[in-house]
Amino acid sequence: MIAETNPEKMYQAMKAKLANVVPDFELKIKAELAAEINRLKAEKNAVILGHNYMEAALFNSVPDFVGDSLELARKAAQTDKDIIVFCGVRFMAETAKILNPGKTVLLPSEKAGCSLAASITAEDVRELKRRFPGVPVVTYVNTYADVKAESDICCTSGNAQAVVESLNTETVIFIPDEYLAKNVAKETGKHIIFPTMDPRKKFEGELDYQMIGWLGRCEVHDKFTVEDIENVRKQFPDVTILAHPECSPEVVAASDFSGSTGAMIRFVENSSAPHYLLLTECAMGDNIAAANPDKDMLRLCSVRCPHMNQITLEDTLESLRKNQYVIEIPEDILQRAARSVERMIAIG
């Protein structure tokens, strides 16, 4: 975070961090916005949380804390500020609200959704529970509060395996990301089925499965292919490739490392490969390049997250000025969702 409220000093501080990734004329405009955001943040006793996918000018200026979904959920649980401005997508802001029911949580854009969160409803989960009674439901945090409310425990890409193993049960329902579920099934040695592939098929009588998945996908990570990896390796034989676990198991297997956005950042920081390629939202490559000017980050930027990219410094300033967009969750849903989020946080 840069704590400046003076636009010129803010510009100089941002330039020192971002001269190699953001053009100078844009930095001047962004610095003015960032300085005003900092002034309002102090006036309103707000905290700003920024996901690792935020564009470089935002990520490197106003957030008090940056991180992956799990790290930001933990920060949200600890804050004593009155207002939380979540520079991320709706499900993340909802998680912050679930952990802080008495505080105002703001999401700077109403359009910041997520294809995974949109892939499943609370009624879908109730139907799965009817079909597989007594089987605990592990729900990826990339879901809305009403889906979390139907679940036993949440997980993120940073702790999915640990959460599944913490349950100590033979079988789990793991929703809604098909690829994350397949990747976790591989790591934990569980055989996974997808009842929605053939709704007429009666899996209930079969004994040879330990995971029940759903067919949701991230519209960004779904696009990366093994062919992309082969092409990049042909051009850069000594590249190190990192894939988010929302990528297909084939892409993860063809990569050198897989982990949450936070784990990917730490991997790059702690290694010294000649080139890196991140198979995830492209803005994160800029953020790593800004913090590590000595590292050569290759980018595949034709695939962008349209939701994360909604959040800009302009919207963040409007959010603080107008107190928008306030996250509201009905009380009964909030209380039930809190149990599954808090159970996840307690795992550590």
Interface contacts to ligand 13P, rule CB under 6 A:
52, 68-69, 142, 156-158, 218, 244, 246, 260-261
Give ∠ CA 35-29-294 in degrees, rounded to 5: 90
Cβ neighbours of residue 179 closer than 8 Å, sequence gap 6 or more: 217, 218, 221, 222, 245, 246, 247, 248, 249
Task: Write out the H or E segment, with its range, that includes residue 240.
Answer: strand 239-243
Residue 4 or 281: the one with the smaller Cβ distance to ligand SF4 is: 281
CB-CB contact of 306 with 38 (8 Å): no
The nearest distance, CB 37 to ligand SF4, in angstroms, is: 22
- Quick one: which of 89, 211, 333, 338 contacts ligand SF4 (CB under 6 A)? 89
Q: Site for ligand SF4 (CB under 6 A): which residue of 95, 119, 142, 240?
A: 142
Sole binder of ligand SF4 in the list 219, 256, 314, 318 (CB under 6 A): 219
CA–CA gap between residue 275 and residue 237 (Å, rounded): 9
CA angle 27, 52, 86 (to 5 degrees): 85
**Region binding ligand SF4 by CB under 6 A among candidate stretches 11-19, 102-110, 228-236, 303-311:** 303-311
Q: How far is the CB of 210 from ligand 13P (least distance, A)?
A: 24
Q: Does 307 help bind ligand SF4 (rule: CB under 6 A)?
A: yes
Q: Which does 103 bind (CB under 5 to 8 A by kind): ligand 13P, ligand SF4, none?
A: none
Residue 261 touches which of ligand SF4, ligand 13P, none (CB < 5 to 8 A by kind)? ligand 13P
Which residues are within 8 A (CB) of 224 and not within 5 positions of it... i.e. 6 or more apart? 243, 247, 248, 251, 279, 300, 303
- Name the residue nearer to ligand 13P (CB basis): 32 or 300: 300
Cis peptide before 325, with omega less than 30 degrees from 0? Answer: yes
Q: Which is nearer to ligand SF4, 74 or 111 (CB)?
A: 111
Q: Which of residues 19-38 bind ligand SF4 (CB under 6 A)?
A: none
Q: How far apart are CA 181 and CA 214, in angstroms?
A: 8
List the interface residues with ligand SF4, window 265-294 (CB under 6 A): 281
Helix (H, G, I), strand (E, B) or coil at 144: coil
Cβ distance to ligand 13P smaller for residue 113 or 136? 113
Nearer to ligand SF4, 176 or 195 (CB): 176
Closest CA to 221 of 143, 151, 282: 282
Q: Are 86 and 96 in contact (CB under 8 A)?
A: yes
Considering only 308, 311, 317, 341, the residue that binds ligand SF4 (CB under 6 A) is: 308
Q: How far is the CB of 305 from ligand SF4 (least distance, A)?
A: 3
Residues 49 and 69: their CA atoms lie apart, in Å, by: 10
Cβ 80 to ligand SF4 shortest distance, Å: 28
Q: Is 114 in the site for ligand SF4 (CB under 6 A)?
A: yes
Provide the β-strand partners of residue 138: 153, 174
CA atoms of 164 and 173, how far apart (whole Å): 10
Binds 175, which of ligand SF4, ligand 13P, none (CB < 5 to 8 A, cut-off by type)? none
Measured CA to CA, the distance from residue 284 to residue 307 in angstroms comes to 14
Minimum CB distance to ligand 13P, residue 288 (Å): 14
Closest CB to ligand 13P among 4 and 177?
Answer: 177
Nearest residue (CB) to ligand SF4, 113 versus 136: 113
Which of ligand SF4, ligand 13P, none interacts with 115 (beta carbon under 5 to 8 A by kind)? ligand SF4
Q: How far is the CB of 121 from ligand SF4 (least distance, A)?
A: 16
Q: What are the angstrom distances between the C-alpha of 8 and each of 14, 31, 33, 40? A: 10, 8, 11, 17
How far apart are alpha carbons 258 and 247 in whole angstroms? 9
Identified binder of ligand SF4 from the candidate list 220, 239, 251, 268, rule CB under 6 A = 220
Q: What's CA 289's distance to the chain center, in Å?
A: 20
Binding site residues, ligand SF4, CB under 6 A: 89, 114-116, 142, 218-220, 246, 281, 305, 307-308
